[in-house]
Amino acid sequence: MDAETALDDSYFDYCPWDFVDRASAGQRAAQDAHQRRLADSGARLGPRCYVSPAAGVFTDTLRLGADSYIAGHAYVTGEVTAGDDCTVNPYATVRGRITLGDGVRIGAHSSLLGFNHGVAPDRPVHRQPLTSRGITVGDDVWIGSHVVVLDGVTIGDHCVVGAGAVVTKDLAPWTVAAGNPARPLRDRRAHPRRDRAVSGALPGGLPDDLSDGPSGDLSGDLGDAVARFADRARSQAADLIARCWNPDTGRYADRPGAPATVRAHCDAVEIADLLLGSPPEQLAADEHAERLRALQDPGSGMVPEFAPDGGPGVLPAPAADGWIDDGTAEYHVLAVGYALDLLGSRLTQPVHVVRRMTVDQLLARLGSLPWRTRTWSAGAWVDCWATGAHRNLELGVEDGEPGALEALFGWLTTRVDPWTGMWGTAESPTAGRLQLVNGYYRLTRGSYAQFGLDVPYAERVVDTVLAHGRDQRWFTAGRENACNVLDVAHPLWLAGRRGGHRAAEVRAWAEEQLTRALGRWRDGAGFGFGPAGEGGGGPGRKPGLQGTEMWLAIVWLLADLVGVADRLAYRPRGVHRPEPARSPGFATPG
């Protein structure tokens, strides 16, 4: 293998199935030495096995049959015996007395726990005795991602266990099971053509993703699934928008019974453009545009939310630098501006708070943003300011002081962290990288992406975002919300579009999330935003316009990362558009 085709050692931590065919002589020698060290501790490994040095393997007994592997960051302890062609994918946990047959696939982040603690009330849990009945898995078994199998369970030959399942009881051979607790759904032999991960993509199939990593090419099946999904969504788009329209007030709400909002009107326009190629049928295009244009505050150029009684909203008093600190109005600069684009119109007047800000005021504001504690808020401010600058240029209005846009990009480029590719240091034990990555998306959407500039340190961005995308607090089945998935999908798309850094891992993550996303559609109502929580907020699980608009864009991004976006027959043109809105007309420093 020459220098041009050599793969970094870390590649095989996540793609060990490629080791036999693609490792260099030096990498093979290092793996042989690693296996000898394991053998010195009593392990017995068959031919063509691979055990990642990044895996935590601390076993009393380890037996791997031929062509088996343990990927990076897996945690393997106890007495583990596996047959031929067994795979333990990244971040999986296999502990206790575990026996695997031939051809077993254990998905990323899954746990086989072949031991237990006592729970008697006479002593603390940490002093309870350990028990171990063991776990037995038969031949040809597929265990999807984020599955938990408890001690004492036997999984019969040819079973398939859907992602996120918690297996507490034995499964008979050929069972397809999913859920918490896992329940049998059908006999795998009943529908032999529905055994791929895509079977859970649409109602009537399996409810959870079964993907266990990038070891198989699912693009063909996923392409068919996204095409069916798009047809289904397109046929229901008009009705799901109509259910959110109040003819008495002439306004849209996120969902029936919710208050009317400016964003709901913008979301309705975006959904109709994506799926129908036309404005929502409740009004003509010029009527939609006129209602949105009329919402702009003449003094600031921002767009306030409606008052509680549904009347015109009022903005707070400006800060010393003239800026109006109102997060909702800041987002409306994006939402209303892009909705008007889709309607063939534009804002009536400039975004004055951006136009009036001097370079010194801009730099002072950037320096005062909460980069260390609330990176999302800091990124959202940059998103709004840069979008306001774009709208002003669109109207042919010069900024109040020349060079403000150049100053923004100069400040950003000189303050990005070269180790993470991010701005800010908001990482915490409770939220992990949530604020950091979410803030990155908001910041780059309005600046680098909107103006068509390459992001700095793109490979480090991919590293940071992939690490966050594996955080089970935010990316376990049933916990994702649209904000958090979008904030990973868009940076992976943006940073990876001109390179192939960790492409297999990016694709695997996108495949898993895409299959889950397609299954979230609710007939006649669209998508729900997802669980509320830290960093997420949003309208919650109930289907509505915001969740639908965001997930439609997410589905496109994920499908493009997988290579099947053309099957959707739509492409976002609004807030979440992939193409830049304009060129800045200058080169960024660095």
| DSSP conformation class of 447 | I
d(CA 485, CA 530): 10
Q: What are phi and psi of 100, to 5 degrees?
A: -115, 140
Residue 308 corresponds to which tokens in the numbers above? 């509680």
In Å, the largest CA–CA distance within the chain is: 78
**Beta bridge pairs of residue 76:** 57, 94
Apex CA 387: angle with CA 383 and CA 390, to 5°?
Answer: 150
State which amino acid sits at residue 586.
Answer: F
Q: Which residues are catalytic?
A: 117
The stretches of 139-256 forming alpha helices (DSSP H) are 219-242
Query: Rounded to whole angstroms, how far apart are CA atoms 434 and 349?
Result: 36
**Rounded Cα gap, residues 7 and 546, in angstroms:** 42
Report the distance separating Cα 474 and Cα 430, nearest Å: 11
Rounded CA-CA distance 402/399 in Å is 6
Phi and psi angles of residue 452, each rounded to the nearest 5 degrees, phi first: 70, 35
Give the DSSP letter of residue 174. T
Residue 370: CB atoms within 10 Å: 15
Taking the C-alpha atoms of residue 306 and residue 246, their distance in angstroms, rounded to an integer, is 15
Phi, psi at 62, each rounded to 5° = -140, 120
